[in-house]
């Protein structure tokens, strides 16, 4: 199976490298990430010259780009995937985009004889590196079955969420709402602890194994305690996802009260120069309000 990979950012680069490690023949391209492209080529990928070139050399093309306009450009733009596609080409869009956009793009692909499945991921850079992402797929079950083994190279959990294109992205939006609200709750709770004179590291040790414990807490609270906001998942990208969640929620008529509150925190952080920080930097919002840093007491 010949695989094309378009988009070599924080997530795409290690995902592509995991496919290479598993023995897949990969042609890669990213016009905005020359160093990352050089890196995957050094690991065995074929250097693509354009998105169309990648498509012409592939049985299936994976796109991993920031948002729906970038997916549209990669597929339908000048020198896009559609220009180089052979009849029956499959596209797995692993970007996180609005579900209705995903459905529309899939319909336009079908008009050109191209099959598409949406398969957004969760887990951030660490899980992209070690190949343990959660992958949420929407589209025909037959296409999911065809590529399940391929996706399992990049993920520890690969789930078919529905036969309709966009089902994967709807699931991803639900994931992003829960992650954002969870991080905000952690920031609020641990800021409470330190302002009440209790060591937040001991609070973390005491409650992480109970009902309040979560994968989010285990991943993000140690970063908060260390003051380490190196991005595994940037605030600006989470703003994008929550905008999509709010738009979708408003469209279907569900209240998005907690999502709206956290989005305001993220937007404030973006406006104050923190957009490229990890989303664990929601803590900075609370620290700005209180004037008190939450850190390990020995720091």
Active-site residue list: 172
DSSP codes joined into one string, the chain = -EEEEE--STTHHHHHHHHHHTT-EEEEE-TT-HHHHHHHHHTTPEEPSSHHHHHHT-SEEEE--SSHHHHHHHHHSTT-HHHHPPTT-EEEE-S---HHHHHHHHHHHHHTT-EEEE--EESHHHHHHHT-EEEEEES-HHHHHHHHHHHHTTEEEEEEEESSTTHHHHHHHHHHHHHHHHHHHHHHHHHHHHHTT--HHHHHHHHTTSTT--HHHHHHHHHHHHT----SSBHHHHHHHHHHHHHHHHHHT---HHHHHHHHHHHHHHHTT-TTSBGGGHHHHHHHHH------TT-
Least Cα distance to 14 among 170, 222, 22 occurs for 22
* Cα–Cα distance, 127 to 144 (Å, whole number): 21
Structure tokens given for 219: 């991943």
């Amino acid at each position: 199976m010949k695989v094309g990979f378009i988009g070599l950012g924080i997530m795409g680069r290690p995902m592509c490298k995991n496919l290479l490690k598993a023995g897949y023949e990969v042609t890669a391209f990213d016009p905005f990430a020359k160093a990352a492209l050089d890196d995957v080529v050094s690991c065995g990928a074929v250097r693509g010259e354009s998105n169309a070139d990648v498509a012409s050399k592939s049985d299936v093309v994976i796109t991993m780009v920031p948002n729906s306009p970038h997916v549209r450009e990669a597929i339908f733009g000048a020198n896009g995937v559609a220009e180089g596609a052979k009849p029956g080409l499959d596209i797995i869009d692993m970007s996180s985009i609005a579900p209705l956009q995903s459905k529309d793009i899939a319909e336009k692909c079908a008009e050109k004889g191209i099959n598409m499945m949406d398969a957004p991921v969760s887990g951030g850079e660490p899980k992209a590196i070690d190949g343990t992402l959660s992958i949420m797929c929407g589209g025909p079950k037959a296409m999911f079955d065809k590529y399940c083994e391929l996706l399992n190279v990049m993920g520890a959990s690969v789930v078919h969420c529905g036969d309709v294109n966009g089902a994967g992205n709807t699931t991803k939006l639900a994931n992003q709402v829960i992650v954002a609200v969870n991080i905000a709750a952690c920031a609020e709770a641990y800021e409470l602890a330190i302002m009440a004179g209790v060591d937040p590291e001991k609070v973390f040790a005491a409650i992480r194994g109970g009902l309040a414990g979560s994968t989010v807490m285990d991943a993000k609270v140690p970063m908060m305690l260390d003051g380490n906001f190196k991005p595994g998942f940037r605030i600006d990208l989470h703003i994008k996802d929550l905008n999509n969640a709010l738009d979708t929620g408003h469209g279907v008529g569900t209240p998005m009260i907690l999502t709206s509150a956290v989005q305001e925190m993220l937007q404030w952080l973006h406006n104050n120069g923190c957009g490229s920080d990890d989303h664990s930097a929601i803590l900075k919002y609370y620290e700005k309000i209180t004037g008190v840093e939450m850190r390990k007491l020995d720091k």
